[in-house]
Amino acid sequence: MFKFLQKWSAVQIITVGFLLIILFGTLVLSMPVCSADGSSTNFIDSLFTATSAVCVTGLVVFDTSVHWSLLGKVVIISLIQIGGLGFMTIATMISLIRGKKINLKERLIIQESLNQFDLSGIVKLTRQIIFMVFIIEAVGGILLSINFIPKLGPVKGLMYGMFHSISAFCNAGFDLMGSISGQFSSLTSLYDNTFVMIVVSLLIILGGLGYPVILDFLENRRFSKLNVHSKLVIVSTGILLLIGFVFIFLVEYNNPDTLGSMNMKGKLLSSIFQSTTFRTAGFNSIDLSLARESSIFLMIILMFIGASPASTGGGIKTTTIAVLFLTVKDFLIGKDQIQIFERSISTEAIRKSMVIFFIAIFIVIAGTLALSLTNPQFSILECAFEVASAYATVGLSIGGSPNLNIIGKFIIIILMFLGRVGSLTIFTAILSINIAKKDKNIKRANGKIIVG
């Protein structure tokens, strides 16, 4: 590790690391060899695509299958993999392959990037994560290639299977269906393909649960033996999936532009799939621009919540909203301690959840207003959808991204970066708040403030 980095905090290194990877991806994607027609892609569109890939978002200004060459697609899926695993996890993998020892500073950066409490066993955890991710993506790729090989041949079919498996597990939402079913069509042509819809949904859910939860489940195998974090993640994820499924199924059931024209199988599959994907992934099996406004509003809420900590997804995270919900519930019934699964939730976790929630609310509101002012051709709901999708690194769009002006694209780029690296992480890295020790130990008298 370079000596000057020793003075940097873990969050500063993570932030700058992601920026450098995005810049490198931008420069490569702007090269003529990366576009299908052999022409250079302008800087802002290359930056938008690289940011979307590294931040595992899925918002695009060009159809991935049509605009980019084979090399361009390889670059994009590589950026997605780096973004999904985290650059420090990739760096650790390279160091382990080379037989290099991981020093304390590097372990601290890994701990921060994986959002872990304990430093002990962090290298072992990283090794397990790498192995698990590659196994899941390989199995997913083989399963999906079963669908693609009969239509595209063995080589291209396997490539399509692996691309969509990595994109789904990393919750990226990039697809190669444009050359098959029309540009920006995502997986709409496969809405009634039970096999593909289920496999992609499972990959998205696994990626969105978080690495620690999957490893905890593999080790203990029973819900009762899981730790509190894993239980809370699984329960909150299940509740959100159910809410999304029921709402979309009921509200869009008779909408002729979405579920209305489908048979019962298609309605159920699309409702399940959309409930899964609009929280984290960015694939779609129906034309979201034709969905009812109430459905779009719910999508914005679920996108805002997003996936779980230490996962490939974004948003404020399922545990954050769960902690806030439990705090309100226990306050209303008069409990002194916030409890879940016979354990109390620390004051630090509650305070951090509140900070994350209000920072995110501020960013989404500010981003929506900024996008609305700079792109007046879009309604406020369309702007809110695009902003929530970018900040939560979801990647769904109702027609906005390809039609944004340069300022609008920059706004979305910033939001995607904030969402992936974490707004709290970035603000900490920028501000580097260090309260003097003498101030830390001072206890001030309580001041009475009337609220509510």
Over residues 327-378, the pLDDT tens digits come to 999 888 888 788 888 888 888 889 889 988 999 999 999 999 999 999 999 9
Angle at 239 between CA 236 and CA 243, to 5 degrees: 140
Region 33-52 average pLDDT? 95
CA angle 424, 427, 428 (to 5 degrees): 85
Q: What's the confidence (pLDDT) of residue 135?
A: 94
pLDDT digits (tens, 9 = 90+) for 216-270: 888 888 888 898 989 999 999 999 999 999 999 999 999 999 999 899 999 999 9
Residue 76 CA to residue 28 CA, distance in Å, equals 10
pLDDT at 214 over 50: yes
The structure tokens listed for 213 are 């939860």
- Give the rounded percent of residues in the chain with a pLDDT score beyond 70: 84
Q: Quickly list DSSP for 281-323.
A: T---SS-GGGS-HHHHHHHHHHHHH-S-TTSS--SS-HHHHHH
Residue 108: pLDDT band by 50, 70, 90 thresholds? low
- Residue 50, pLDDT above cutoff 70: yes
CB atoms within 10 A of CB 135: 10
Q: What is the per-residue pLDDT for 438?
A: 47
Q: Which two tokens stand for residue 163?
A: 């691309």
Residue type for position 311? S
Contact 131, 96 (CB under 8 A): no
Helices (DSSP H) in 153-263: which residue ranges? Answer: 154-169, 178-181, 194-209, 211-220, 228-252
228-252 vs 318-332: helix crossing angle, rounded to 10: 90
CA distance 133 to 103: 24
Task: Work out the mean pLDDT of the chain and round it to a whole number.
Answer: 86
Distances (CA, A) of 124 to 6, 106, 117, 120, 229: 23, 14, 15, 9, 20
| Alpha carbons 156 and 149: distance in angstroms, whole number | 7
Rounded Cα–Cα distance for residues 136 and 231 (Å): 22
Is residue 41 within 8 A of residue 34, CB to CB? The reply is yes
Q: Considering only 191-195, 196-200, 320-324, 444-448, which range has the smallest mean pLDDT?
A: 444-448
Residue 62: name the closest of 368, 383, 404, 381 by CA.
404
- What is the number of residues in the chain? 452
For the ranges 10-19, 21-30, 113-122, 366-375, the lowest mean pLDDT is seen at 113-122
| 432-446: pLDDT as tens digits | 544 444 455 566 777
Check residue 335 and give its pLDDT. 83
